[in-house]
Amino acid sequence: MAEAGPRAYTPGMKRHGVMVLGLLSCTRVQAQPTPGAPPPTAVAPAPVATALSRFPEFPAAPSGAVGEGFRARWGDGRAELTSYDAVVPRYGERRSAELVLIYVTEPLDRATWVKDDDAPPERRVEALKLNQSLKFTTGLYPYSVLTSVFAPVDRWRSEAFAPVKLTLTAQEWCGHVFQGVWPGAERFNTQWFSYFAGEGEGSATVTVRPGGLYEDALLIQLRELDGPFNGGRDWAGELVPTLWRSRRTHQPYRPAPATISRTRGEASGSPVHRFVVVSGDYRRELTVEADGDHRVLGWSTSDGEVVSLRRTARLPYWQLNHESDAPARATLGLDLGPPAPDAPPGPGARVGF
């Protein structure tokens, strides 16, 4: 879909459209939808009051504004794209994968939590969007997984960049799935659509303790783009797992007690912060630049995922949609092909949904 360039304004806005679908696997799903949850219905454009009632309560105004340093860097009309070499577990084996993180600012309409350059001022919320694109192949057929996080840049919650929406779409040759999550201060609403007969369509409202975090949003929050995460201290509370981890490990999408500790070190001679996330038997260690753009350099998990930075570029990618723009992919090393997995399979791998 063709896209127009960003308007002059606040952190860098752009016009663009993305159409995605999603998936699971051919094996019959194990989990069941929440008993008694009403089936979702198609939602037509609605008045503000009706649309707002679909989402958890959101503050009338932020408690603070994002700093000028953030606005100067992220208001340049470009997105930050970073490619990674990755190895991910699937069906009891480690799979070579290609991962790209796309960060860009855009305005949301708080009545719908959808991007809208023309949202009126009283409903306009500036957000940093992260699209995480994961692609890998299992034998004959490919997987494509896109996770999106929408995090307001101003301080609307206790922790900076607390998300207002998270979505996952995944697809492979057997079918597709979509799940959306709308976080509030003490609960989140979620809705899913799946091709599995045992899962189908459903929705739920789940309680989260105040101050709870979402693991998908940590790839924004741990970058510390507008000040230290949790004031520079270790963190403890409830953590909601990533949408993809919940789905591929067959664990409920529910908050669980967790801790995040931090240490300072070096990587390739440059200062870094190492964050260690622990929730039950799950452990994830992330390495983030301590200076400069605070890029996520990579991470590893206890279930066998290993990710390492390949290349970074700041580009108005929505404009680079012509055949003549194809060489720009080399800027991110996207046509190099993923590396072969060289580590043993992670523990606890399970086949099928």
Instruction: Tell me: pLDDT of 173 over 90.
Output: yes
CA torsion sign, 122 to 217 to 243 to 185? negative
Q: What is the pLDDT of residues 179-192, one digit of tens each?
A: 999 999 999 999 99
Token pair, residue 255, equals 């908050």
pLDDT, average across residues 313-340: 86
By the 8 A CB rule, do 216 and 166 touch? Answer: yes
For residue 341, tell me if it sits in a domain.
no
Both tokens assigned to 72: 């100067």
| Residue environment code for 304-337, b if the CB has 16+ CB neighbours within 10 A, otherwise e | bbbbebbeeebbbbbbeeeeeeeeeeeebebeee
178 domain-assigned: yes
Cα–Cα nearest to 296, from 221, 224, 217, 219: 219
Give how far Cα 240 sits from Cα of 3, 135, 150, 278, Å: 34, 23, 15, 12
Largest separation between any pair of C-alpha atoms in the chain:
56
Q: Are 108 and 117 in contact (CB under 8 A)?
A: no
Q: Is 83 helix (H, G, I), strand (E, B) or coil?
A: strand
Tens digit of pLDDT for each residue in 282-304?
999 999 999 999 999 999 999 99
Phi–psi pair at 52, nearest 5 degrees: -60, -30
Percent of the chain at pLDDT > 90 equals 72
Per the document, the length of the chain is 353
Helix (H) or strand (E) holding 94: strand 93-109
**Higher per-residue confidence, 251 vs 87:** 87
Tell me the pLDDT band of 337, cut-offs 50, 70 and 90.
low
Residue 336 — pLDDT band, cuts 50, 70, 90?
A: low
Residue 292 within any structural domain of the chain: yes
Which pair of tokens denotes residue 62?
């932020």
E runs forming strands in 184-305: 187-194, 201-207, 213-214, 235-240, 256-267, 270-279, 282-289, 296-301
Within-domain flag for 16? no
Q: Give the number of C-alpha atoms closer than 13 A to the C-alpha of residue 154, restricted to the C-beta side.
A: 15
The number of folded domains in the chain is: 1
Which pLDDT belongs to residue 340?
A: 56
Judge whether 302 and 281 are in contact, CB under 8 Å: yes
Residue span of the structural domain in which 214 resides: 48-332
Task: With respect to residue 198, please indicate whether it lies within any of the assigned structural domains.
Answer: yes
Each residue's pLDDT tens digit, 198-210: 788 999 999 999 9
Note whether 33 and 190 are within 8 A (CB): no
* Pairing mode of beta strands 201-207, 213-214: unpaired
137 inside domain: yes
- The DSSP secondary-structure symbol of 247 reads H
Dihedrals phi, psi of 55, to nearest 5 degrees: -115, 155
Residue 126 lies in a domain: yes
Q: How far is CA 226 from CA 10, 221, 222, 294, in A?
A: 15, 9, 10, 10
- Beta pairing, strands 296-301 & 306-315: antiparallel
* Higher pLDDT, residue 352 or 248: 248
- Asked if residue 183 belongs to a domain, the reply is yes
| pLDDT confidence tier of residue 339, bands split at 50, 70 and 90 | low
Q: Which of 301, 169, 296, 190 is nearest to 240 (CA)?
A: 190
pLDDT in tens, 228-286: 999 999 999 999 999 999 988 888 899 999 999 999 999 989 999 999 999 999 999 99
